[in-house]
């Protein structure tokens, strides 16, 4: 009975003319190119979770409306090209993340017989990789000494200020585990939500306004564009440098600590600087050269799709502005939830 109802929902949505893979691909590209900037302007933390979650929803929708999962690979390529055109200064890892998301979608949705399970697994895998991405990069950059230093710093501060002394607790790894667990929880939630999209779309298409042309809305606050900064000028880098200084000072005032702690931390910082120099002077320019060459070759192949998608962006911005203004009566997390949900369905179902 439930399977028959689900099949009926699939057939109803498949006949909806407003929803096409091109529009969904455009929304995914808009999310990757502009959504992060909007969240940044609204000073919303953990923006990576929201962007990765949006990718899960759009990939699930593309799978829903596609005859086969190869359409996901095509959509992924178009999103990468749009991102390269609209946000040419995005780091190479951002393109890798989008490509990985699309490839996972292609594998998991190779059959639509288990749509809800595929959406759930996609949510878990995408958010898991999103969670470990920064941790892996920090470990490559600073080595395991970073987490050992974090553990040492928290342990010493806890003992001296809060009189808490549990040397058996590895605080650094505990924080890393909590960070990854948060992403896994988000992945579980968005995966379940993506599996319910057929029913939710049938509900919201009855209540979403059909036209947004001419709506100006309240402009989302804009922040001045910042020049791309190296890791040591970003909040994470500044925090790591302060942590390193703190550990070095602790190593000199705490006689029970080994004398080579300060040397290990200094070597960690030197390692990070050397890797950064190698990346920005050798590896990144070469990788960017070949990537730009790849983009130039593919742009002509999808010229019509790229032009059509980019032309939709002004309307998308108007809708987002409208939804932000419409959420003004709500406060805090309620406003964020209402804004994100209304934006998603209005972008998806408006004409």
- Token readout for 32 is 């990757």
Q: Give the range with max mean pLDDT: 14-18, 184-188, 242-246, 323-327.
A: 184-188
Q: What is the DSSP letter of 232?
A: G
Residue 240 belongs to a domain: no
User: Any idea which of 60-74, 193-207, 243-257, 326-340 has the lowest mean pLDDT?
Assistant: 243-257
Q: Distance between CA 88 and CA 292 in Å, rounded?
A: 9
Residue 88 belongs to a domain: yes
Nearest to residue 204, comparing CAs of 345, 336, 304? 345
User: Any idea which of 32-36, 79-83, 106-110, 326-330 has the lowest mean pLDDT?
Assistant: 32-36
Residue 22 belongs to a domain: yes
Mean pLDDT score, 198-225: 60
Write the CA distances from 129 to 136, 170, 303, integer angstroms.
10, 23, 31
Q: Distance between CA 219 and CA 73 in Å, rounded?
A: 34
Residue 60 belongs to a domain: yes
Residue 274 belongs to a domain: no
Residue 160 has what pLDDT? 58
Q: Which residue has the tokens 């929304």?
A: 27
Nearest to residue 36, comparing CAs of 61, 21, 53? 53
Residue 65 belongs to a domain: yes
- Token readout for 4 is 């028959």
pLDDT digits (tens, 9 = 90+) for 111-163: 878 889 999 999 999 999 998 888 888 778 777 777 676 777 676 666 555 55
Mean pLDDT score, 65-94: 86
Give the domain range for residue 315. 13-133+170-226+287-349
Q: Distance between CA 49 and CA 106 in Å, rounded?
A: 21
Asked whether the beta carbons of 123 and 56 are under 8 A apart, the reply is yes
Q: Distance between CA 19 and CA 348 in Å, rounded?
A: 7
pLDDT for 200 beyond 90: no
pLDDT digits (tens, 9 = 90+) for 230-263: 555 666 667 667 666 666 665 555 555 555 666 7
pLDDT for 16 beyond 50: no
Mean pLDDT score, 48-66: 91
Per-chain mean pLDDT for the chain: 77
Residue count of the chain, please give it.
Answer: 351
Write the CA distances from 269 to 152, 234, 243, 253, 323, integer angstroms.
16, 15, 11, 21, 45
**Secondary structure of residue 216 in the 3-state scheme:** coil
Q: Where are the alpha helices (DSSP H) in the chain?
A: 2-14, 21-30, 36-41, 47-65, 70-86, 92-108, 115-142, 145-161, 171-195, 197-204, 235-253, 260-278, 284-299, 303-326, 332-349
- Token readout for 286 is 């070469």
Confidence of residue 92 (pLDDT cuts 50, 70, 90): confident
How many structural domains is the chain composed of?
Answer: 1
Q: Distance between CA 35 and CA 313 in Å, rounded?
A: 11
Residue 142 belongs to a domain: no
Q: Distance between CA 328 and CA 338 in Å, rounded?
A: 10
Model pTM?
0.78
Residue 126 belongs to a domain: yes
């Amino acid at each position: 009975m439930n399977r028959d109802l689900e099949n009926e929902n699939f057939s109803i949505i498949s006949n909806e003319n407003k929803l096409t893979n091109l529009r969904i691909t455009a929304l995914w590209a808009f999310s990757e190119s502009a959504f992060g900037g909007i969240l940044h302007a609204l000073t919303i933390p953990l923006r990576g979770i929201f962007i990765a979650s949006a990718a899960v929803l759009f990939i699930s929708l593309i799978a829903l409306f596609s005859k086969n999962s190869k359409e996901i690979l095509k959509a992924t390529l178009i999103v990468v090209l749009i991102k390269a055109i609209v946000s040419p200064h995005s780091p190479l890892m951002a393109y890798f993340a989008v490509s990985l998301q699309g490839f996972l979608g292609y594998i998991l949705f190779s059959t639509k017989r288990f749509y809800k399970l595929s959406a759930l697994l996609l949510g878990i895998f995408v958010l898991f990789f999103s969670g470990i991405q920064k941790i892996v990069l920090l470990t490559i950059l600073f080595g395991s000494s970073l987490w050992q230093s974090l553990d040492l710093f928290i342990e010493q501060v806890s003992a001296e200020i809060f009189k808490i002394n549990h040397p058996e607790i590895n605080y650094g790894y505990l924080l890393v585990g909590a960070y990854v667990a948060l992403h896994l929880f988000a992945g579980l939630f968005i995966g379940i939500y993506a599996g319910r999209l057929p029913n939710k779309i049938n509900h919201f298409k009855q209540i979403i306004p059909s036209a947004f042309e001419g709506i100006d809305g309240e402009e989302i606050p804009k922040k001045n564009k910042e020049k791309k900064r190296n890791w040591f000028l970003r909040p994470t880098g500044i925090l790591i440098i302060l942590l390193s200084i703190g550990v070095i000072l602790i190593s000199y005032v705490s006689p029970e600590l080994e004398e080579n702690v300060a040397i290990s931390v200094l070597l960690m910082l030197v390692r990070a600087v050397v890797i950064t120099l190698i990346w920005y002077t050798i590896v990144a320019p070469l990788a960017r050269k070949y990537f730009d060459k790849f983009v130039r070759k593919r742009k002509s192949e999808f010229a019509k799709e790229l032009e059509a998608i980019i032309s939709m962006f002004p309307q998308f911005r108007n809708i987002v502005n409208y939804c932000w203004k419409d959420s003004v009566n709500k406060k805090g997390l309620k406003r964020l939830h209402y804004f994100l949900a209304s934006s998603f369905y209005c972008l998806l179902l408006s004409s």
